[in-house]
Chain A
Amino acid sequence: MPQSQWTPRKRSWRHRLTDLSIKIGEAVTRRVRFFGDLTFFAASTVFWLFARRPSKGTLVPIFYNVGVLSLPVVILTGMFVGMVLAVQSFPQFKLVGLESRIGGAINLSLVKELGPVLAATMLAGRVGSSIAAELGTMRVTEQIDALTSMGPNPIHYLVVPRFLACLILIPGLTIMADAMGVFGGAFLSIDVLGVDWGYYWDYSRRMVGPFEIFAGMFKSIFFGGAIAMISCHQGFHCEAGAEGVGKAATHSFVISFVMILILDLVLGIFLDRFQTAFFGGPTGGMLG
């Protein structure tokens, strides 16, 4: 049998360039639409937050889930991060003969940066994914439609309590992560690595002032709000089926984590400028 002489024509570079521009255009449109939708969703949540107070019966179980049930994982993470920081930084400090100052470095990193970021990451993993999966399942099984058909606004009934829980409870969880990190770092540095107790706490006190603690808390509020918004939004816009719910949970964590890092950078720069403008620079200047 004679072989066909026909061979597919190679696409010209113009065609390939057009395809590429279309793909880029579509991706950009998708992102813009996502952020527009998320902004509208957040605006509706803020509107309903002030329009009508959620009932106690709705708030209590969600607060319990977000706050109380997140405590063990936050405590564990905080404590281990404190200990790991001590283990990793001690040899470096010892090398330059500054091991007595290790307390300041550990506690400043914890209170200003690692405590809030890790507590938020834990919240995004434990609570954010669970919110996205729960609301996603409700969307897929028409429970959100059922709720809407009975009168209540789904944003008011489902999103506002979760948003409030994340916003209000994350500073508490951050304090817990900080405290356990400080405890873990101190235990390992003083009791295991043999750093002098007095120097450890003296340098900690000099490095970590009220503004550093406030900065951590301040950032955590934004992290909590972002996690709640992103997770609820992902759940509400979940695609059909088990795969859709899985995707919503995964996307909720990934987007929340990226948002935590972006917010951390932006708020970090803002808080440093603020501290320099109103308090004459970071507390590190007190070291002398």
Chain B
Amino acid sequence: MTESKDKVTWEGQVYSDAEGQRRVLRRRRPLLETEHLYVEFDGREVLRDINLPIRRGETVAIIGESGCGKTVLLKTLIGLNKPTYGNIWLDGVDLTSMSSRQLSEARTRFGFVFQQAALFDSMTIWENVAFPIVQNRPKTRKDEINETVHRLLLEVGLTQDVEQRYPAELSGGMRKRVGFARALAINPELMLYDEPTTGLDPIMSDVINEMIINARDQHKVTGVIVTHDMKSAKKVADRIVMLYPLRRLGEDEPQVLFDGPPDEIDDTDDKRVWQFINGYAGERLMEMTKN
């Protein structure tokens, strides 16, 4: 980027000063950012002081043991949980101070892949994938919706045969892929994946990993993945963030134990990170059965 007195050049294009600065600032600003985020349920603290910037185009994997608040964080990012304190900035706008109508609108910029796919039981696969389009772009023509549904299902490796079937008639892996297609239906800028490979065989897990990479490379979507699967995290993520359960932390200890590129996580000195990535129980069973 070059800046002169009244002109700004960005990626070969010249902008007037104000417009250029706006674009440059927009590029520099994270797409989504949490600032001093605290979440409590019935007085029990689940997330403490989470400051997590998610930059445009990157894929961030959030790892950590069960109960550390990964899914809570993911759901808080999209406004499904209300934070007790703190802000969530989406493109510079605070999600926590939005009205429910504004929040509904903001959510159309997200795609969410649920752990168990969360497909609507009473709808066919076609209706499930078409649902976000019908709801958010009601003027879209039927043939256009049809075309999008065919394309998305094909992208996730499903043929037209499944379109008129119900979710209960599909295998877990197929349901997850339909959930993936549904999340992509309205071209989200940011995809949130809640344990996308859990419960799948190694090959299907890798298929899902490839889809996440494709979504980033072809659809240019930013991604946040919550996972236990270190192999998957290392394969798809540009950055890994490790959370630790608050019940095992002291008052002043930070909840984020690691935040960096995947190739650095193996060199960490933190015993707790090492224990998690190597799947080593250590004294954990004795601690758990004590009392």
Q: A residues bordering B, Cβ < 8 Å?
A: 137, 141-143, 145-153
Chain A residues closer than 8 Å to B217, beta-carbon distance: none
Which of B107, B115, B132, B135 is the one whose CB lies under 8 Å from A142? B115
B98-138, CB < 8 A from A: 100, 104-105, 107-108, 110, 112, 114-116, 118-121, 131-132, 135-136
- The 4 A-B pairs with the shortest beta carbon distances in the complex, nearest first, are A146-B118, A149-B112, A142-B118, A150-B132
Pairs A–B under 8 Å by Cβ, sample size 6 = A142-B116, A146-B114, A147-B120, A148-B107, A150-B132, A150-B135
Chain A proximity of B179: nearest CB distance (Å): 8
Measured CB to CB, the nearest residue on chain A to B115 is A142
Q: How far is the CA of A256 from the CA of B31 in the complex (A)?
A: 47
Q: Is B63 an interface residue (CB 8 A)?
A: no
8 additional contacts, CB 8 Å, given A141-B121, A143-B119, A143-B120?
A: A141-B118, A142-B118, A145-B118, A148-B107, A150-B135, A150-B186, A151-B135, A151-B136
Chain A proximity of B44: nearest CB distance (Å): 16
Q: How far is the CA of A149 from the CA of B182 in the complex (A)?
A: 11
The answer to whether residues A143 and B135 also contact, given A149-B110, A149-B112 and a CB cut-off of 8 A, is no
Measured CB to CB, the nearest residue on chain B to A47 is B100
Question: For chains A and B in complex, what number of residue pairs have CB atoms within 8 angstroms?
Answer: 51
Q: How far is the CA of A104 from the CA of B201 in the complex (A)?
A: 72
Q: How far is the CA of A151 from the CA of B100 in the complex (A)?
A: 10
Chain B residues closer than 8 Å to A148, beta-carbon distance: 79-80, 107
Contact B114 A145 (CB under 8 A): yes
Chain B proximity of A138: nearest CB distance (Å): 8
B115-168, CB < 8 A from A: 115-116, 118-121, 131-132, 135-136
Q: B residues bordering A, Cβ < 8 Å?
A: 75, 78-80, 100, 104-105, 107-108, 110, 112, 114-116, 118-121, 131-132, 135-136, 182, 186
Chain B proximity of A154: nearest CB distance (Å): 10
The answer to whether residues A151 and B105 also contact, given A143-B120, A143-B121, A145-B75 and a CB cut-off of 8 A, is yes
Chain B residues closer than 8 Å to A149, beta-carbon distance: 78, 80, 107, 110, 112
Chain B residues closer than 8 Å to A142, beta-carbon distance: 114-116, 118
Which of A145, A152, A153 is the one whose CB lies under 8 Å from B80? A145
Chain B proximity of A136: nearest CB distance (Å): 13
Contact B118 A151 (CB under 8 A): no
Measured CB to CB, the nearest residue on chain B to A44 is B100
Q: How far is the CA of A62 from the CA of B116 in the complex (A)?
A: 26
Measured CB to CB, the nearest residue on chain B to A147 is B120
Chain A residues closer than 8 Å to B120, beta-carbon distance: 143, 146-147
Chain A residues closer than 8 Å to B186, beta-carbon distance: 150
Chain A residues closer than 8 Å to B115, beta-carbon distance: 142
Most buried by B among A141, A145, A147, A150: A150
Chain B residues closer than 8 Å to A146, beta-carbon distance: 112, 114, 118-120
Contact B107 A151 (CB under 8 A): yes
Chain A residues closer than 8 Å to B110, beta-carbon distance: 149
Chain B residues closer than 8 Å to A137, beta-carbon distance: 121
Chain A proximity of B117: nearest CB distance (Å): 9
Measured CB to CB, the nearest residue on chain A to B194 is A142
Q: How far is the CA of A149 from the CA of B100 in the complex (A)?
A: 12
Measured CB to CB, the nearest residue on chain B to A142 is B118
The answer to whether residues A151 and B116 also contact, given A143-B121, A145-B75 and a CB cut-off of 8 A, is no
Chain A residues closer than 8 Å to B80, beta-carbon distance: 145, 148-149
Chain B proximity of A288: nearest CB distance (Å): 57
Contact B135 A152 (CB under 8 A): yes
Chain B residues closer than 8 Å to A151, beta-carbon distance: 104-105, 107-108, 132, 135-136
Contact B116 A150 (CB under 8 A): no
Chain A proximity of B281: nearest CB distance (Å): 26
Chain A proximity of B198: nearest CB distance (Å): 13
Q: How far is the CA of A150 from the CA of B78 in the complex (A)?
A: 10
Contact B100 A153 (CB under 8 A): yes
Measured CB to CB, the nearest residue on chain B to A51 is B101
Q: How far is the CA of A145 from the CA of B71 in the complex (A)?
A: 12
Q: How far is the CA of A152 from the CA of B107 in the complex (A)?
A: 9
Q: How far is the CA of A153 from the CA of B105 in the complex (A)?
A: 10
Contact B118 A150 (CB under 8 A): no
Chain B residues closer than 8 Å to A147, beta-carbon distance: 120
Chain A residues closer than 8 Å to B116, beta-carbon distance: 141-142
Q: How far is the CA of A149 from the CA of B224 in the complex (A)?
A: 15
Chain B proximity of A82: nearest CB distance (Å): 37
Q: How far is the CA of A149 from the CA of B110 in the complex (A)?
A: 8
Q: How far is the CA of A196 from the CA of B112 in the complex (A)?
A: 70
Measured CB to CB, the nearest residue on chain B to A145 is B80
Q: How far is the CA of A141 from the CA of B135 in the complex (A)?
A: 21
